[in-house]
C-alpha cells in the first residue's frame, strides 16, 4: 500500500490514547461561534442560553466584543493542550473527534430543538434537515447545523494564513470577525434576543421542505461580511 495512503489514514483516525467519551442525547447541541459544544442534560434546557450566560462575564445581559474575545481565549486555552500558544493538527484532530464529533459531515444528528427529537424508524438514518434562513432546501454542513453562524469547522477556519496551526492572534481575529457577523446593525453589543433572532429555522418532524422557485433571488448569496477597521 502506498506510503501517502497510509499517512492519510493515520491522520484521519482518532487518537488511540484518548477514547471518544461523548454522552449522546436525542436532541442536538448548540455550537458556539468558536466551535464549543453545549449539550442539554434535560429537554427544557436552552443550550444557547448556557453559552450566552458564560460569555456575558459581567452578567448585564449584553455581549460585547471584549467579552466575545475573552470567551474565545478561554476556549483556545482548552484546545491548546500543550500550552504552546498554537492549536496544532494533533489538537485539531482531538477537537473534531472528541470535543465536538457532531460537527463531522455525515454524523448522526437532529436539528436544534428544545424538545427531544422523534425517534427514526428502525433502520432509518435521521435526515439532515437544517435549512437556510429563507426556508429553502439549502442544508448547512458541519457545525453550521447547530450554530448561529454557518461555519462548518469553526476552529480550523480561524487559520487565516493556512499554515495548519491556529495561533491565539488568529483566534482573537476570528472573535472580532464573528462578532461583526452577528452584530448586523453595528450596535457594538448583542442581547440574547438578538441572538435568538439569528437561530436557524428548526425542523418540524413531518413538514415538507419549501423549494425555491428557479427565478427567485438566492438569499444565501451576498450575505454581509465583516469589514476590517
Are 190 and 79 in contact by the 8 Å Cβ rule? The answer is no
Tell me the three-class secondary structure of 26-77, residue by residue: CCCCEECCCCCEECCCCCCCCHHHHHHHHHCCCCCCEECHHHHHHHHHHHHH
Task: Considering only residues 17 and 223, tell me which one the structure prediction assigns the higher pLDDT.
Answer: 17
> By CB neighbour count within 10 A (0-12 exposed, 13-18 middle, 19+ buried), where does 34 fall?
buried
3-class DSSP state of 168: helix
What band does 197 get if pLDDT is binned at 50, 70 and 90? confident
pLDDT, position 134: 40
Answer whether residue 141 shows pLDDT above 50.
Answer: yes
Grid cell digits, residue 7: 499517512
Q: What is the pLDDT of residues 33-44, one digit of tens each?
A: 999 999 888 877
Average pLDDT of the chain is 75
Are 69 and 180 in contact by the 8 Å Cβ rule? The answer is no
Task: Considering only residues 69 and 227, tell me which one the structure prediction assigns the higher pLDDT.
Answer: 69
What band does 106 get if pLDDT is binned at 50, 70 and 90? low
Q: By 3-state DSSP, what share of the chain in percent is helix, strand and coil, each rounded to 5?
A: 35, 5, 60
Cα angle 133, 134, 139; round to 5: 65
pLDDT, position 118: 36
Answer whether residue 195 shows pLDDT above 70.
Answer: yes
H helix or E strand, kind and range, residue 167? strand 166-167
As a whole number of angstroms, the distance between CA 116 and CA 107 comes to 18
Torsion, Cα 137 143 148 150, to 10 degrees, reads: -50
Could you tell me which residues are beta bridge partners of residue 30? 38
With b for 16 or more beta-carbon neighbours within 10 A and e for fewer, the 39-69 pattern comes to bbeeeeeebbeebbeebbeeeeeebbeebbb
* Cβ neighbours of 87 (radius 10 Å): 26
Are 119 and 26 in contact by the 8 Å Cβ rule? The answer is yes
Task: Considering only residues 130 and 185, tell me which one the structure prediction assigns the higher pLDDT.
Answer: 185
Q: What is the pLDDT of residues 10-32, one digit of tens each?
A: 444 444 454 444 343 445 789 99
As a whole number of angstroms, the distance between CA 90 and CA 164 comes to 10
What band does 221 get if pLDDT is binned at 50, 70 and 90? very low
pLDDT (average), residues 43-57: 91
Are 70 and 184 in contact by the 8 Å Cβ rule? The answer is no
Grid cell digits, residue 129: 434537515
Q: What is the pLDDT of residues 202-219, one digit of tens each?
A: 543 444 556 667 776 655
Amino acid at each position: 500500500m502506498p506510503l501517502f495512503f497510509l499517512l492519510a489514514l493515520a491522520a484521519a483516525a482518532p487518537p488511540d490514547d484518548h477514547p471518544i467519551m461523548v454522552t449522546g442525547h436525542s436532541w442536538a447541541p448548540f455550537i458556539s461561534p468558536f466551535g464549543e459544544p453545549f449539550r442539554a442534560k434535560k429537554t427544557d434546557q436552552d443550550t444557547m442560553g448556557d453559552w450566552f450566560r458564560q460569555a456575558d462575564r459581567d452578567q448585564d445581559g449584553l455581549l460585547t466584543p471584549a467579552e466575545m474575545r475573552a470567551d474565545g481565549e478561554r476556549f483556545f486555552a482548552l484546545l491548546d493542550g500543550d500550552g504552546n500558544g498554537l492549536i496544532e493538527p494533533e489538537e485539531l484532530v482531538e477537537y473534531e473527534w472528541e470535543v465536538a464529533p457532531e460537527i463531522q459531515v455525515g454524523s448522526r444528528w437532529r436539528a436544534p430543538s428544545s424538545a427531544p427529537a422523534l425517534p427514526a424508524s428502525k433502520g432509518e438514518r435521521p435526515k439532515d434537515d437544517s435549512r437556510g434562513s429563507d426556508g429553502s432546501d439549502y442544508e448547512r454542513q458541519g457545525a453550521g447545523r447547530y450554530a448561529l453562524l454557518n461555519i462548518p469547522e469553526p476552529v480550523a477556519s480561524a487559520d487565516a494564513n493556512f499554515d495548519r496551526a491556529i495561533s491565539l492572534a488568529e483566534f482573537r481575529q476570528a472573535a472580532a470577525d464573528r462578532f461583526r457577523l452577528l452584530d448586523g446593525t453595528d450596535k457594538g453589543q448583542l442581547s440574547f434576543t438578538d441572538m435568538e433572532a439569528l437561530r436557524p429555522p428548526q425542523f418540524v418532524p413531518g413538514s415538507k421542505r419549501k423549494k425555491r422557485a428557479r427565478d427567485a433571488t438566492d438569499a444565501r448569496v451576498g450575505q454581509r461580511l465583516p469589514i476590517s477597521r
